[in-house]
Amino acid sequence: MRRVLRMTGRGESTIDALLQPLYRTWAARPIPVRATILAAMGQIELHLSAVHASAGPAGDGVDAAIAEAREVIGRDVFSDDGAALEAVVGRLLTARGWRVSVAESCTGGLVAERITSVPGVSRYFDQSVVTYSNAAKTGWLGISEALLAEHGAVSAPVARAMAAGIRERTGAEAGLGVTGIAGPDGGTPDKPVGTVAIAVALPDGTSSRVLRFLGDRTQIRFQSSQAVLDLLRRSLER
């Protein structure tokens, strides 16, 4: 018996520290539950397994351990059945009968690509835009040049305007906006490479975050996509 808990939002060391007391409990059980943490970009996996020495798989202990870990980690857990974040988001959208559209800058299509990697996505996704330049943000999304000039393209107000703009333009209930500096060029002292603003616009309001990621262009782009999908997940689970 083996199960995987997937989570995002906190670092590996924080998660590991939170789980330490559980590791000791699990190891002391008659059928010990073994735990392994795997950290990838923007995602942490807790692999739990237990094997009864004489009688083969011992599922109950693993299921109980999954529940205990969920209790400790809380809302950072996004799946306990192997589902990827984009699939979890798809289920939440389907449950509400909502659609999602994306306006992406630095991720260049990655968020839409991840959303549409899930079979059956046409139930909740029909269109998206990549607005890489300022002119594209103005042209496709109606973002004013004044807003871009005042805050810069990589800012919470512009991410919020992108999310609200794509939502309005497409009629989708959920609009996502991502704008950032994926590097290697384009960083400034104020906004170094890895600075990313994300926003989620829903019928009841808009949430946004400005984040700073480490890594190369690929890693910054992936973490940005993970962050905006996770902000959508948390907003839909509320």
Query: Any idea what DSSP says for residue 32?
Result: P
Residue 107 sits in the site that holds a second copy (CB under 8 A): yes
* Min CB(228)–a second copy separation in Å: 13
Between 112 and 232, name the residue whose CB sits nearer to a second copy.
112
* Min CB(134)–a second copy separation in Å: 9
* Min CB(162)–a second copy separation in Å: 13
Between 93 and 112, name the residue whose CB sits nearer to a second copy.
112
Between 25 and 218, name the residue whose CB sits nearer to a second copy.
218
Site string for a second copy, 11-50 (x = CB under 8 A): ----------------------------------------
Sequence-separated (6 or more) residues with CB below 8 Å from residue 98: 124, 172, 173, 174
CA dihedral in degrees (104, 106, 112, 113; nearest 10)? Answer: 160
Rounded Cα–Cα distance for residues 133 and 122 (Å): 28
* Min CB(140)–a second copy separation in Å: 7
Residue 132 sits in the site that holds a second copy (CB under 8 A): yes
Of 134, 136, 130, 131, the closest CA to residue 146 belongs to 134
* Min CB(14)–a second copy separation in Å: 30
Rounded Cα–Cα distance for residues 40 and 28 (Å): 29
Collapsing DSSP to helix, strand or coil, 205 comes out as strand
Interface of this chain with a second copy, residues 144 to 173, rule: CB under 8 A: 170
Q: Which of 126, 145, 150, 237 binds a second copy (CB under 8 A)?
A: 126
* Min CB(84)–a second copy separation in Å: 12
Kindly list the strands in the beta sheet with 34-40, ordered across the sheet, starting from the edge strand earlier in the chain: 34-40, 43-49, 2-7, 77-79
* Min CB(99)–a second copy separation in Å: 10
Sequence-separated (6 or more) residues with CB below 8 Å from residue 114: 84, 85, 86, 225, 229
Q: Sign of the C-alpha dihedral, residues 142, 140, 134, 191?
A: positive
Residue 226 sits in the site that holds a second copy (CB under 8 A): no
Q: Sign of the C-alpha dihedral, residues 145, 146, 152, 156?
A: negative
Of 61, 2, 55, the closest CA to residue 31 belongs to 61
Residue 185 sits in the site that holds a second copy (CB under 8 A): yes
Q: Write out the residues near a second copy by the rule CB under 8 A.
A: 102, 104, 107-113, 115-117, 119-122, 125-133, 135-136, 139-140, 170, 183-185, 217-218, 221
